[in-house]
Amino acid sequence: MSQSALRTPRFTAFFVAAAISNAAGWMQTVAVPALLFDLTHQSTWLGLATVANIAPAVLLATPAGVLSDRVDRRLILLATQLLQLAAATALWWLYHTDQLTPGRILLVGFVGGVATGFQSPTWQAFIPSLVPQEAMLDAVRLNTLQFTLARAVGPAAAGVVVKQWGISWAIGINAVTYVLPVVVLLIISTPRNAVMGAGTRALDALRDGARYVWRERGLRLVVLLSLLTATLGQSFQFIAPAISKRIFGHSSEDNSTLLAALGVGGLVAALFARRLISHRARLPHAMTAVLALYAVTPLLVAATSDFRVGVAGYFLGGMAHVINAVSINAFIQSYAPDHLRGRVMSFYLLAILGGIQVGTFLMGWLGDRIGMRVTVLVDAAAMTVISAWLVQRGALRVLGEFSPDSHHEGATPGVTVTA
């Protein structure tokens, strides 16, 4: 039986600190793209900003996975949180002193992307070490929930903070809140993660991880699904300022409303996500629902100029994101042994980060050339066709066939996904 991860004090402390810090991060995520769009009046710049932020994360994700299997994951997270604190502080100072330009926004985003590259696979691999084995799946769910909570609260708070006090406050608050997870990471103690052999070369370790992911049919499928949903689904959140202005005729700052709706949709989905990850037979149905929601979201956004319909579309997109993240993350965490966990998570995150980068850039670039509404419709058509093909072929059935208890190499001892 799975128990609540919140009964473990160190997980609870990390959960609260991360939720607050990530909510503040979303304040900055809302404020800075709106500022960039107002400075340049081109959605291509939104795509470039996403590339600058995510490209280093894409390049570093797999080496970071190797690193997180070699050294103490808590120390890696401490270093990345401090680097993100420095980047946010620099961004605040440049804006406060009226020295912030589009190029400097991209540069600071690049530095933050370096931190994200090392942090993302390590963060995901670190979560199971905070709780007993029987609480691992609940910890995975709650970790996704805190990101979702941040996604709901952060944009809503940004709408208030930016209008009342200005963009500098949104950036400054984000910088200060990085102190919270740093303090928690300094005071908690966790079991040392399983470490690969000291004589293993980094390239060999990376190759071993890639072979493991590719050989296991279930892992290969979820990585490809992550690439698909990131490219055609999650990229919507990064072009929200352009969608707000060009499709709905609102100000770019109203992207905060769209992203808040995305977060609220995620919170609603999180209410029943625990049931999804505790019954493997439901995973194929959950992923079918995810693909359908990701296809409906752009259709609603492009169907009308009524802002309320767009908000509804982003709400459904938020539901899709959380069901997708919880289902796939729980599947991978239950599948991967601890000594490979960092590398397996790195390939999963590589698919997400790479997909977001490609999708956002293409949508921004096409939006400047053929119009944002037509671009969104093209996205909807592509998502619909690919999803229908996957469902028709029965490709998702492998998710329900997986049983970590019977898997010869992949099971994490003590973790059970009930039928």
The whole-number pLDDT of residue 404 equals 44
The whole-number pLDDT of residue 285 equals 85
Answer yes or no: is pLDDT of 406 > 50. Answer: no
- State how far the Cα of 259 lies from the Cα of 159, in Å rounded to an integer: 10
Answer yes or no: is pLDDT of 118 > 70. Answer: yes
Answer yes or no: is pLDDT of 284 > 50. Answer: yes
| Mean pLDDT in residue range 406-413 | 39
Backbone angles phi, psi at 98, to 5 degrees: 60, 40
At 414, the pLDDT band (50, 70, 90 cuts) reads very low
- State how far the Cα of 402 lies from the Cα of 416, in Å rounded to an integer: 11
Answer yes or no: are the C-beta atoms of 253 and 159 closer than 8 Å: yes
The per-residue pLDDT for range 130-183, each reduced to its tens digit, is 888 788 778 877 887 787 777 777 777 877 887 788 888 888 899 999 999 999
Answer yes or no: is pLDDT of 291 > 70. Answer: yes
Answer yes or no: is pLDDT of 125 > 70. Answer: yes
Higher-scoring residue by pLDDT: 381, 334? 381
Backbone angles phi, psi at 251, to 5 degrees: -70, 160
Output the CA torsion 280→284→290→296 (10° steps): -150
| H or E element in which residue 158 lies | helix 136-164
The per-residue pLDDT for range 188-236, each reduced to its tens digit, is 877 665 454 555 566 777 777 788 888 888 888 999 999 999 999 988 8
Answer yes or no: is pLDDT of 415 > 60. Answer: no
Answer yes or no: is pLDDT of 299 > 90. Answer: yes
At 409, the pLDDT band (50, 70, 90 cuts) reads very low
Answer yes or no: are the C-beta atoms of 338 and 194 closer than 8 Å: yes
Q: From residue 382, how far is each of 104, 233, 309, 316, 341 by CA, in Å?
A: 34, 11, 21, 18, 32
Q: Is 33 helix (H, G, I), strand (E, B) or coil?
A: helix
